[in-house]
Chains A and B, each alone.
Chain A
Amino acid sequence: MALIELAGIERVFRLGDADVHALAGIDLSIDSGEYVAIMGQSGSGKSTMLNLLGLLDRPNTGTYHLEGRDVTTLSPDEQAAVRSRRIGFVFQSFHLVPRLTAAENIALPMSLAGIPPAERDRRVAKALKDFGLDNRADHRPDELSGGQRQRVAIARATIMHPALLLADEPTGNLDRATGEEVIHLLETLNQSGVTLIIVTHDHNLGARAARHLVMEDGRLTSDSRRPASADFSS
């Protein structure tokens, strides 16, 4: 069964008098456990796509089925519950809460979900160990290196065992070696079964994915696995 099923998705922003189609006629199916890279120039709609997949944004028309469930018609709080349990985000700028320690940042999704403290502590301890952050638990983000920060962010994104991991330019703020390390980490998670979708304009990074989606002006212009469906717009 497909994890993600998009049909006839349109997303229109109104800028002054003009309507801008950030997403137009998107039909897409992504299976559970896939490793997908969404590529395109800035303004091509790839960020809007990611926001939509992450239930942070709603389409104007079209339907989005996540794990077989139509999530476009859910209320904001129901969508929040889906984000909490099924979706993990990794951002370019890490988005750690500066006043919280690494351990507290990792625990944040669990405390938002109301998971009891004992369970939280257990899972955080395991995550710190798995991500090689054992001796950084009580450090605040400004006391961590870029790579460590992104590792904390990835630990936070996966602490609720989501089905889908969305990464927006995860290496954009990291040097080459650290970026490599972070990508390797994400790929390891993918191999353990998590569906990984990376948005990037870095071709080297995109090339590593098993499936490539290229976007241009809000449309999918290429899908490396289904090239036939990519050319309907041109």
Chain B
Amino acid sequence: MRTRDVLRFARDAGAGYPLRTSLSILAMAIGVAAVVVLTALGDGARRYVVAQFTSLGTNLVIVIPGRTATGGFNPANTITRTPRDLTVEDAAAVLRLPGVQRASPLAAGNSEISVGGRLREVLAIGVAQPYVEIRNFQLQQGTFIPDMDWSRTLPVAVIGAKLREELFPGQAAVGQFMRVGDRRVRIIGVLKPSGQGLGMNTDELVFLPVALAQALFDSNTLFRILVEARSRNHIEGVKQEVATLLKARHGGEEDVTVITQDAMLATFDKLLRALTAAVAGIAAISLAVAGILVMNVMLVAVTQRTGEIGLLKALGAEARTIRHAFLAEAGMLSLFGAIAGYLLGQLATFALRQAYPAYPAYAPDWAVAAALVTALTTGLLFGIMPAQRAARMDPVQALMKH
């Protein structure tokens, strides 16, 4: 039998049972759409995080107080439990390292601010002047914290755009005074709205000189030191230099963790890729289920069309022809299911992107390809058994079932 005739025969056979055919196409479509949508969510999360990290700055090396367990067992950890504070002096020493372009200490804490009787809880960040360049912040009005001795507690503040709108609706904020904790500070700048920045919305932050923030929080320790290497090639060197320097400054103890933005990015990237692959795997189960459904439908079709199979054999159809006809039907169910599922999935991710513009929900190409290939293979694979059953049928027995 010619291939075109086999395909036409299979198509007509499928079209002869519209409900059953459309249900199995739907099952396959849902399977494929599930893979497309779930991997779009997973990969969207990855892209989102990567974008967030990139917005932190470029060539970043970050110093975190305390030792994370990633360095393996260190005997020093068993002797002393409390790490030394990470101090402004440490940050100043880091700044003098050769590969370092910029560095800024960073202290953070919750604080209460008040303007004209209005109270608000905010996250206050103590930084030095280089911070604005490291983070590449743009100012809407005024200036950032001035380049000055990091130990000075100059009573000035820079606020985020959203905070400005809340505290000074419809009026200039620069030059105004506000209370932060028990200090009275003058606002010298307002940041442009950005909304970016991993976990904290910079539009709602108050930036203070680091010494002022530490005095406010009554603490000497820093939350982070942000370091910008001279270039991408300097990142690893700077990481080593910073680690060595701080170990020396802390009496030979490795009580800080130095991470690079690249490494962090790579970790998150790896993690979220694994997550995407995992959800793809879970969604693939629904494809297997759809495959089994196709098999079920084909088995029913074989039983229902037993008489027809007998007739085809009487009319001179070879076993191969009958096998091909049923396989083609199973293949068509899978193919149309896969196409419908692909379109459904693209539609769903499009809707997601419309609803959440910040979230780049695009299904990765490998997932789409894998979903389509899996759909077709499971459909054909599960189609083999029913097709064999049809092809092996005894024509006399089959003809009697009419």
A85 CB contact (under 8 Å) in B307, B316, B317, B321: B316
Q: Does A205 contact B (CB under 8 A)?
A: no
Q: Are A83 and B316 in contact (CB under 8 A)?
A: yes
B313 touches A56 (CB 8 A): yes
Q: Is B312 an interface residue (CB 8 A)?
A: yes
Closest to B400 in A: A47
Q: Does A108 contact B (CB under 8 A)?
A: yes
Interface flags, A70-88, vs B, CB<8A=1, else 0: 0000001100111111010
Residue A93 CB within 8 A of the other chain: yes
Contact B399 A56 (CB under 8 A): yes
Q: Which of B15, B308, B316 contacts A81 (CB 8 A)?
A: B316
Assuming A93-B402, A111-B1, A112-B1, is B317 touching A99 (CB within 8 A)? no
Q: Mark B1-16, 1 if CB is under 8 A from A, else 0.
A: 1100100010011011
> What 0/1 pattern do residues 41 to 70 of A give for CB contact below 8 A with B?
000000000010010110000000000000
Which chain B residues border A81 with CB–CB below 8 Å? 316, 318
Does B311 make an interface contact (CB < 8 A)? yes
Interface flag for B347 (CB, 8 Å): no
Q: Determine if B312 and A112 form an interchain contact, defined as CB atoms under 8 angstroms apart.
A: yes
With A and B bound together, what is the CA distance between A91 and B1 in angstroms? Answer: 23
Interface size class of B (residues with CB under 8 A): 20 to 34
In the complex, the answer to whether A57 meets B396 with C-beta atoms within 8 Å is yes
| B315 adjacent to chain A (CB < 8 Å) | yes
Interface string of B291-319 (1 = CB under 8 A from A): 00000000000000001100111111111
- The reply to whether B315 and A83 form a contact with Cβ atoms under 8 Å apart is yes
CB of A54 within 8 A of CB of B315, answer: no
- Is B317's CB under 8 angstroms from A80's CB? yes
Whether B12 and A99, one on each chain, are in contact in the complex, defined by CB atoms closer than 8 angstroms, is yes
Q: A109 near B: Cβ within 8 Å? A: yes
30 example contacts (A-B, Cβ-Cβ < 8 A) are as follows A54-B314, A56-B313, A56-B396, A57-B396, A76-B318, A76-B319, A77-B320, A80-B317, A80-B318, A80-B319, A81-B316, A83-B313, A83-B314, A84-B316, A89-B314, A91-B399, A91-B402, A95-B307, A95-B311, A95-B314, A95-B399, A97-B311, A100-B12, A108-B312, A111-B1, A112-B312, A112-B315, A112-B316, A114-B2, A156-B315
Q: A76-B318, A89-B314, A112-B317 are in contact. List 11 more A-B contacts (CB 8 A).
A: A57-B395, A77-B318, A77-B319, A80-B316, A80-B317, A84-B317, A85-B316, A95-B311, A95-B399, A98-B16, A112-B312
* B residues with CB within 8 A of A: 1-2, 5, 9, 12-13, 15-16, 307-308, 311-321, 395-396, 399, 402
